[in-house]
Chain A
Amino acid sequence: MRPEFYKVLQSPILWGVLLLAALLPFVLPSYYLHIVILSLVYVALASSWNIVGGMAGQISLAHSLFIGIGAMLSTALLLKLGINMWLGLLISAAISAVMAAMIAWIDYRFRLGHLSFVLITMAFAEMGGLVVEGWDFLGGASGLLLPRDTGHFLDFQFGGSHGAFWVMLFLAVVCVLVNVAILNAPLGYYLRTIRDNENAARAIGVDVLRYKVAAMVISAVLASIVGTAYVRYLTFADPYLLVSPVITIEIVLFATVGGLGSAFGPALGALLLVPLGEILRGQLGGVLPGLHYFIYGIVVIAVILMTPQGLLPLVERLWKRRPGAVAAAEPPANAAR
């Protein structure tokens, strides 16, 4: 592990911001708290996807599968078999890990090209969605309703939106820190080698299968855990929201717009675009159906046209040019390329 990781971990700015953020539930009205919670969900999800999609350069569209397992399976285990949701979370995460390892193995074994990998993971995601819709145990097309959140921590209940906020803040921070850790650990270097030239990586002795599996499994386990926490907050396990390709598309959008492959880029993308989408929905949703998404789409296109490298590199450039910046500032080691 390179010292940069500990630098981030010991940074007073990080902990200061987190401490202030943790106080948000006491000052924010519930509507805005909801938007912040949603943003944190997507920060966590986009950061977890970044491990596979950004660092390893494997554009996996199977993320909804892992979120879906975490959300639908843990809910079904609780409702149908009475299994404690903490245990359900672990079981779902384990199953997600196994499926992730399988997908990574298939990718390695059949040496899929980039587009084939995108399409095969998309096909898996579509199939997963159809299985959930067709299987009553997982709620079928009508979904599942969790019991009311009464705040019993041992039953995976956190007492409404305040508790949900802290849980999500915790998960988002964990996902981002896992990103920082991987970027500064040997695994991160292996993944970037594989992304930039898989054959060369193989030739110099990088165990491609091992690191591809590692990236996919870490990413899937995080996504699955976030899925379980998210469904606890939503209370209603809606397959059309949680197991649909649309959620993956959103995650990939946030990660890409923010800055693929960097530790904080995906978080930045989610923190900007989720509130934008929600506020547009709140302001314009009742005016004319479709209007808020229409504007959202235009904003997304405009942002991409203006910052084709992603937002984070732009922010970094501005930061370095700030008045009083150290002239010979060390280039950020974990910047996206």
Chain B
Amino acid sequence: MAEFLQALTQGLLIGSTYGLLALGMGLVYGVSGVVNFAHGDFIALGMFMCLALYSALSLDPYVSIVITVPVMMGVGALVYRYLLRPMVGHKFLMIVQLTLGLSLVLQNGILMVFGGQPARTPSAVESRLWIVGDVVMRVPHIIAFVVSFAMAIGLYVMLRSTDFGRSIRAVHQNAHAASLMGIDVGRVQILTFALGIGILAIAAALLLPGTPIQPTMGLRYTVITLLVVVLGGMTNFVGIMLGGLVIGISEAFGTIYLSDILGMLLPYGIFVLIMLFRPQGLTWGAAR
């Protein structure tokens, strides 16, 4: 029972951050139809920027986001403006291939600057534990959980009740009609992409403490994010957060209850099963 609770909490804690990663991708998909296969490499970029800031100025990753978020948003805006926007109207697969090319550039750019050795970025709270009953929780995971949900709620409120949020939803529902209403669709798409990448800078800091990082780690995060976004029905907020929790929990149960390989298989197996029986994802009703 203690093991069960341990697996469940661990999965919930890490799953919330997976949800946050996927929200960025879902927002971008909803507004511009782009599925960014360099998503995970942007996370890696965020993590290595935290590492650089720690080595240079000994900043804690949680403090570094003051710098990494604006920088990553700027990078995101440039990428959308000069690489993705010219591709609008072309084949979906071409856009995917372009982001794969971008993934190669980012991954190997990081490799050239930082080398291929796994590295760690220490944080003040890295090894702190919080014990409730039989369940041991690592403080960075708790911070990640709280911040992820706070961000998700913040984004939700932003989409509901600010002008920028309304313009995002308008472009998502009908880009042509939105442009007739005087919304600058191109600007909304650039800002949304920048926002999506900025979210990754925060997620990178949340995932960083205790995680050894490598330039090639991006693909794994891209895969996880894709699983979560598709589970969540692509653009549904609640669905995506739920999807994150499902993947996080199945990963935790897989590693605790099953042997190595079987454990790693579990999230994929659960994903396939859910997709077969709920192809529209974990959404219900009109929660869009």
B287 close to chain A: CB less than 8 A: no
Known A-B contacts A130-B261, A134-B260, A297-B102; A304 and B94 likewise in contact (beta carbons under 8 Å): yes
With both chains docked as a complex, state the minimum distance between the C-beta of A161 and any C-beta of chain B, in angstroms: 28
Nearest B-chain residue to A255, judged by Cβ: B93
Residue of A nearest to B84 (CB): A305
Residues of chain B lying within 8 A (CB to CB) of residue A110 = 275-277, 279
B87 located at the interface, meaning its Cβ lies under 8 Å from any Cβ of chain A in the complex: yes
A109 to B148 Cα, complex, angstroms: 37
For the complex, what is the distance from the CA of A260 to the CA of B95, rounded to whole Å?
Answer: 13
Number of interface residues of B (CB under 8 A): 45
Q: Does B90 belong to the interface (CB within 8 Å)?
A: yes
- Knowing A133-B261, A301-B98, A301-B101 touch, does A116 contact B275 (C-beta < 8 A)? yes
Collect the chain A residues with CB atoms within 8 Å of residue B92's CB. 114
Q: Tell me if B94 and A256 are in contact (CB < 8 A).
A: yes
Residues from chain A with Cβ under 8 Å of B234 in the complex: 115
Among the stretches B53-61, B195-203, B262-270, the one at the interface with A is B262-270
Is B91 part of the binding interface, using a Cβ–Cβ cutoff of 8 Å? yes
Q: Does B265 contact A130, Cβ atoms closer than 8 Å?
A: yes
Given contacts A253-B97, A301-B101, A308-B90, contact A293 B275 (CB under 8 A): no
User: Which chain A positions have C-beta within 8 A of B87?
Assistant: 304-305, 308
User: Taking the complex as formed, is A126 at the interface, i.e. its CB lies under 8 A from any CB of chain B?
Assistant: yes
Q: Which residue of A lies closest to B231 (CB)?
A: A119
B residues near A293, Cβ cutoff 8 Å: 104, 107-108, 111
Task: Decide if B150 is an interface residue (CB 8 Å cutoff).
Answer: no
Residue contact B93 to A294, C-beta cutoff 8 Å: no
Cβ-defined contact, A123 with B272, below 8 A: yes
Q: Decide yes or no whether A84 CB sits under 8 A from chain B.
A: no
Measured CB to CB, the closest approach of chain B to A289, in angstroms, equals 6
- Least CB distance, A314 to chain B, in whole angstroms: 13
CB of A200 within 8 Å of the partner chain: no
The minimal Cβ–Cβ distance linking B103 to chain A, given in whole angstroms, is 8
Secondary structure dominating the interface of A: helix
Most chain B beta-carbon contacts within 10 A, residue among A59, A135, A297, A310: A297
A111-B279, A305-B86, A308-B90 are contacts. A120–B272 as well, Cβ < 8 Å? Answer: yes
Inter-chain contact B275/A304, CB cutoff 8 Å:
no
- Determine if B118 is an interface residue (Cβ-Cβ < 8 Å): no
Which B residue sits closest to A294, measured CB to CB?
Answer: B108
Interface centre among A291, A294, A298 (most CB of B within 10 A): A294
A297:B83 contact, CB within 8 angstroms: no
Q: Is A151 part of the contact surface with B, judged by Cβ < 8 Å?
A: no
Contact of A59 among B93, B109, B260, B264 (CB under 8 A): B93
Binds A, one of B14-22, B154-162, B219-227: B219-227
The reply to whether A123 and B93 contact each other, CB–CB distance below 8 Å, is no
Task: Report the nearest A residue to B261, measured CB to CB.
Answer: A134
* B248 contacts the other chain (CB 8 A): no
Asked whether B183 is an interface residue with its Cβ less than 8 Å from the other chain, the reply is no
Contact: B226 with A122, CB < 8 Å?
yes
Asked if B217 is at the interface (CB within 8 A of a chain A CB), the reply is no
Contact with A297, one of B108, B116, B268, B271 (Cβ below 8 angstroms): B108
Residues of chain A contacted by B116 (CB below 8 angstroms): 289-290
The answer to whether B260 and A300 touch across the interface, beta carbons within 8 angstroms, is: no
Q: Do the beta carbons of B109 and A119 come within 8 Å of each other?
A: no
Whether the pair B97, A256 counts as a contact (CB closer than 8 A) is yes
Give chain A residues whose Cβ lies under 8 Å from the Cβ of B102: 297, 301
B90-A309 in contact (CB<8A): yes
The distance in angstroms between the C-alpha atoms of A98 and B275, with both chains bound, is 22
Does B268 contact A126, Cβ atoms closer than 8 Å? yes
| B-facing residues in A87-130 (Cβ within 8 Å) | 106, 110-116, 119-120, 122-124, 126-127, 130
Residue of A nearest to B37 (CB): A249
Q: Which residues of A contact B111 (CB under 8 A)?
A: 289-290, 293
Docked CA distance A236–B235 (Å): 44
- Among candidates B83, B223, B261, B271, residue contacting A305 with C-beta atoms closer than 8 Å: B83
With A134-B261, A309-B90 in contact, is A123–B219 under 8 Å at CB?
A: no
Q: List 18 A-B contacts (CB under 8 A).
A: A106-B276, A111-B279, A122-B226, A130-B265, A130-B268, A131-B261, A253-B100, A253-B101, A257-B97, A288-B112, A290-B112, A291-B112, A293-B108, A294-B109, A297-B104, A300-B101, A300-B104, A305-B98
Contacts A127-B268, A253-B101 given; 20 further ones with Cβ under 8 A? A110-B275, A111-B279, A114-B92, A116-B275, A119-B227, A123-B268, A123-B271, A131-B261, A134-B261, A134-B262, A245-B219, A249-B100, A253-B97, A256-B93, A257-B97, A288-B112, A289-B111, A293-B104, A308-B90, A308-B94
